[in-house]
Amino acid sequence: MRIKKIILVVIALVFSFTFAAQANEKGATDYSKPERWLALPAAVEKEVDVFFLYPTAWQKVDKNEPNICEIDNKSMVQGAKAALGRQATVFETVGNIYAPYYRQADGAYTLALTVKEQAALLGSLPKSDVFAAFDYYIEHYNQGRPFILASHSQGSDLMLIILAEYMKEHPAVYQRMIAAYVIGYSVTEDYLANNPHLKFAQGPDDTGVIISYNTEAPVIKGKNPVTSPGGIAINPITWTTEETLATAEQSLGSRLLDKAGNWVLVKNYADARVDKARGVIICSTADVKTFSPGNAVFPQGVYHSLDYPFYYYNLRENAAKRTAKYLALQAAIQ
């Protein structure tokens, strides 16, 4: 047993060193180049910005491929553009959207790793890129404006690192953060305890807070790979962390694909209830067979790709409400 433990420790150290060395060798992406950005505003028309990190948008097709793709990988670029339209457009009525491309890890490979192995993998090239992108955004694009952070899935995993490390080191920047919509990946009690400068949202208009949830059916057949023990969720309809059901009739509407493949408003589709034991949002009104039949990564009943679309218009209204509250507070101070 002792020899086996030693071997496992050595493997873990080699694993971490390999990705750290790879990151040091290649360095961060140069974000002074416009082509390294998925989204840059043609004109800065709003007094608030949105910095968005897209979810996993690439999966390797050959097992011999590297586990982290290049910044210009065609499949990732295509997937990132789709995610921008599906998710980041929530915020287009509120702020100027900035979204970098970043070298990201293969989704299925990453979710099969332990938490420590995931941290080592994402802490290499992906972290290097998103930190460089956010720093470039702050230094060259932001011009002192308040901002919203938004992300999903792998993007949220990386956004949590920005919140934990970058915001701690740059408190003046953190003061300009209206809110962070870190959706599709668990924000845990341990994470908040380890980062006392951060706080989780408690209502519909508190600012400087993290908003997070993962969406599931009432019953799922398997483990949700993006949730962790101790996860916290807020109801995206009523904006409470209590377990009171918000009915579909209370929803402002979902944004779903019609039969022609167009995004359309669907009223009163998704309800929402916090499940504190699982640390998720339960949606009981969606058609599981249509929206989550199950695949090799996510079991039946995990509505991972619908975290934004199910509550699209509630998210939009909420971002506007938190922004208005933040701007009012700043005006009162001045």
DSSP category for residue 91: G
Q: Are strands 254-257 and 263-266 parallel, antiparallel or unpaired?
A: antiparallel
Query: Who contacts 272 (Cβ-Cβ below 8 Å, separation ≥6)?
Result: 215, 235, 236, 237, 238, 245, 246, 251, 281, 282, 283, 310, 311
Residue pair 53/84 in contact by the 8 Å Cβ criterion: no
Burial string for 22-43 (b: 16+ CB within 10 Å, else e) reads ebeebebbebeeeebbbbeeee
Residues with Cβ within 8 Å of residue 29, at least 6 apart in sequence: 36, 71, 100, 101, 102, 103, 128, 129, 132, 133
Average the pLDDT over 298-326 and give the result: 97
Contact 99, 57 (CB under 8 A): no
| pLDDT confidence of residue 26 | 58
The per-residue pLDDT for 271 is 98
Residue 210 · residue 178 · CB < 8 Å: no
**What secondary structure does DSSP assign to 106-150, as a single string?**
-HHHHHTS-HHHHHHHHTTHHHHHHHHHHHHIIIII-TT--EEEE
Query: Which stretch of DSSP H or E encloses residue 6?
Result: helix 2-26
Confidence grade of residue 18 (pLDDT, cut at 50, 70, 90)? very low
Distance CA 11, CA 100 (A): 33
Query: Mean pLDDT in the chain?
Result: 91
**Per-residue pLDDT tens over the stretch 243-279:** 999 999 999 999 999 999 999 999 999 999 999 999 9
pLDDT in tens, 169-190: 999 999 999 999 999 999 999 9
Query: Domain coordinates of the chain in residue numbers?
Result: 2-333
Residues 6+ apart with CB under 8 A from 44: 96, 143
> Residue 7, Cβ neighbours under 10 Å: how many?
10
Is the pLDDT reported for residue 16 higher than 70?
A: no
Q: Mean pLDDT over residues 70-76, rounded? A: 96
CA distance 129 to 132: 5
| Other beta carbons less than 10 A from residue 51's beta carbon | 29
Q: Are strands 280-282 and 215-216 parallel, antiparallel or unpaired?
A: parallel
pLDDT digits (tens, 9 = 90+) for 24-66: 345 899 999 999 999 999 999 999 999 999 999 999 888 888 9
Mean pLDDT, rounded, for 204-213: 98
